[in-house]
């Protein structure tokens, strides 16, 4: 069963703690992306990776970090430096390094109190 998995679906953390969100794909896609979605808003790009061992900052990278050590995995760490971390986080992947036809995972809803 091919696709993108994100875990967990819901995540709760205390302010000041770092937290890592998981994203795995078995589609053999080169490119992977992390987006943040706030209520009633569109998707904003946090980080993206077009190939293993390489990644680029998106539009709102401050307070976040990523790694891309394996083709199928692109974990996102939300650090304590992120001022408003509570949001819905979406991971996507694409077979195209140009970002065409991005397919999304089910998302992780992070709540920080």
Partner 1 sequence: GENVEQHPSTLSVQEGDSAVIKCTYSDSASNYFPWYKQELGKGPQLIIDIRSNVGEKKDQRIAVTLNKTAKHFSLHITETQPEDSAVYFCAASYPSNTGKLIFGQGTTLQVKP
31 is a site residue for partner 1 (CB under 8 A) = yes
Asked whether the beta carbons of 103 and 5 are under 8 A apart, the reply is no
**Residue 2, interface with partner 1 (CB under 8 A)?**
no
Q: Is 64 exposed, middle or buried (CB count within 10 Å of its CB: 0-12, 13-18, 19+)?
A: buried
Contact 109, 9 (CB under 8 A): yes
Q: Is 66 in the site for partner 1 (CB under 8 A)?
A: no
Query: Among residues 90, 93, 110, 112, which is the contact residue for partner 1, using CB under 8 A?
Result: 90
Judged by the rule CB under 8 A, the positions of this chain that interact with partner 1 are 4, 6, 31, 40-45, 48, 50, 56, 58, 90, 92, 94, 96-107, 109
């Amino acid at each position: 069963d091919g696709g993108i998995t994100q875990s967990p679906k819901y995540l709760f953390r205390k302010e000041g703690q770092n937290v890592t969100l998981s994203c795995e794909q078995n589609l053999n896609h080169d490119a992977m992306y992390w987006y943040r979605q706030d209520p009633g808003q569109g998707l904003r790009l946090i980080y993206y990776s077009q190939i293993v061992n390489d990644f680029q900052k998106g539009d709102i990278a401050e307070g976040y970090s990523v790694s891309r050590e394996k083709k199928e995995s692109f974990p996102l760490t939300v650090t304590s430096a992120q001022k408003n971390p509570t949001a819905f986080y979406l991971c996507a992947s694409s077979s195209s390094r140009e970002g065409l036809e991005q397919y999304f995972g089910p998302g992780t809803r992070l709540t920080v109190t």
